[in-house]
Amino acid sequence: MDKVVSIDKAMEKLRDGLTILIPGFVNVGVPETLIKGIIGKGYSDLSIISNNTSVRGRGIGLLVHENRIRHITCSHIGSNTETVDKVVAGEIDVTFVPQGTLCERVRAGGAGIGGVLTPTGLGTPIAEGKPVIELDGKKYLLEKALRGDVALIHAWKADRMGNLVYRRTARNFNAIFATAADFVIVEAEEIVETGELDPDNIQTPGCLVDMIIQA
């Protein structure tokens, strides 16, 4: 099944108000082509799940600048001072999640698990309003799973069926985020014919991918 489409065709799957998973560490492994597509189509009121908001003028930072984000669930925003300003001004709502917990919550969402138990955040504002469960004499926070309506993924290589390979640290959150959305759109730096990728090197199987565009 050939899943390669145009950017315009991929953007038809989006709309205002969606919850979107966007991977990347600062601006490594970020789906910049798809982010620019969102801006071009004018989508707004978005709820974003990501590790961070990149930097001014790059990646998710473009969505921040264009006032497209209503709420973001992330680990930190300090690399982008514009995000900080908008959060302080009440223009963007933010939910902070420790980085490891964020990964586990998304992984749980992809695996169909309701949540995870972690000691991280006990005794801090992160724990406010969350159930505390005691097991074998130790206390844990119950952190609920996270999923999105759509995941926007950046791959180094993709074949036309959607099998993906990531490049070094650009893999970061991409592989996990690709499991935890109802619809997965990939931008790939290089698109090859089906069968050209070594099966042992495939990091995300094509069964998880719905559309591919050229990055």
- How many CB atoms are closer than 10 A to CB 85? 12
pLDDT value of position 188: 98
Take residue 38 and report the two structure tokens written for it: 């969102």
Nearest to 114, CA basis, from 122, 104, 123, 100: 104
Beta strands in 76-125 (DSSP E): 93-96, 115-118
Take residue 199 and report the two structure tokens written for it: 């099966």
d(CA 147, CA 106) in angstroms, rounded, equals: 6
Ordered per-residue pLDDT tens for the chain, 215 residues: 899 999 999 999 999 999 999 999 989 999 999 999 999 999 999 999 999 999 998 999 999 999 999 999 999 998 999 999 999 999 999 999 999 999 999 999 999 999 999 999 999 999 999 999 999 999 999 999 999 999 999 999 999 999 999 999 999 999 999 999 999 999 999 999 999 999 999 999 999 999 999 99
Q: pTM for this one?
A: 0.95
Nearest to 170, CA basis, from 154, 159, 181, 191: 154
Kindly state the helix (H) or strand (E) to which residue 104 belongs, with its residue range. helix 99-111
Take residue 10 and report the two structure tokens written for it: 């991929």
pLDDT value of position 78: 84
Residue at 20: amino acid letter: I
Take residue 184 and report the two structure tokens written for it: 């997965």
Q: What is the CATH number of domain 7-214?
A: 3.40.1080.10
Q: Is the dihedral of CA 69, 157, 108, 169 positive or negative?
A: negative
Q: Looking at the chain, list the stretches that DSSP marks H as alpha helix, in order from N- to C-terminal side.
A: 7-11, 32-41, 60-65, 81-88, 99-111, 174-177
